Amino acid sequence: MLLISCPNCGPRDETEFHYGGQAHIAYPESPNDLTDREWAEYLFYRENTKGTFAERWVHSTGCRQWFNMLRDTVSYEIHSIYGMGQPRPDLKTTSPKSEPDKPGEFTQSGDFGQAGEPGLAPGAASPTATTPISSEGV
Ligand SMILES: [Zn+2]
């Protein structure tokens, strides 16, 4: 359970709040000029951050005001609470535990994309290419 400090009301129980998704998603200036893909990305595509994430919350059973929160999605630690329209605050990076032991880097083994079928020179016509397709012209 989170204890969330509403900017207006002070610390309150998480159950008084509702999550409102990723913060700082600006409404497009001219939505009519967007392609369908751009519009869909505005509507549906959100970051899925592991770590510090800026999100919107509303104090739904209290003052009903929206605000932004900078929260760690792993530890649930609340770094900052700030008003709507305010820029995302810069966190003094307290050097998050950077994994010292990197997992083995993925290296291409070279097993893929080597020579094609044996016996076929590049550019040589495949024997199946000239085989007429039985269903053709039916
Ligand atoms: Zn409030």
DSSP 33: G
Please report, in tens digits, the pLDDT of each residue of the chain (138 residues total): 899 999 999 999 999 999 999 999 999 999 999 999 999 999 999 999 999 999 999 999 999 999 999 999 999 999 999 999 999 998 876 555 544 454 555 545 545 444 444 554 555 554 555 555 555 555
Q: What's the 45 CA to ligand 1 centre distance in angstroms?
A: 29
* Residue extents of the structural domains in the chain: 3-83
Which residue shows structure tokens 């998480």? 14
Q: What's the 35 CA to ligand 1 centre distance in angstroms?
A: 38
Q: What's the 5 CA to ligand 1 centre distance in angstroms?
A: 8
pLDDT of residue 92: 72
Q: What's the 50 CA to ligand 1 centre distance in angstroms?
A: 27
Q: What's the 8 CA to ligand 1 centre distance in angstroms?
A: 5
Of 3, 1, 6, 13, the C-alpha closest to 68 is 6
Q: Please give the CATH topology (third level) of the domain spanning 3-83.
A: Folate-binding fold (3.30.2270)
Half-sphere exposure of 123 (CA within 13 A, CB side): 0
Q: What's the 83 CA to ligand 1 centre distance in angstroms?
A: 12
Long-range CB contact pairs, 24-29, < 8 A, 24+? 24/54, 24/68, 24/88
- pTM score: 0.63
Task: Report how far apart, in Å, the C-alpha atoms of 71 and of each of 27, 89, 100, 104 are.
Answer: 23, 12, 24, 30
Q: What's the 14 CA to ligand 1 centre distance in angstroms?
A: 11
Q: Report residue 10: phi and psi, to 5°.
A: 90, -170
Q: What's the 62 CA to ligand 1 centre distance in angstroms?
A: 5
Q: What's the 105 CA to ligand 1 centre distance in angstroms?
A: 47
Of 48, 57, 49, 59, the C-alpha closest to 12 is 59
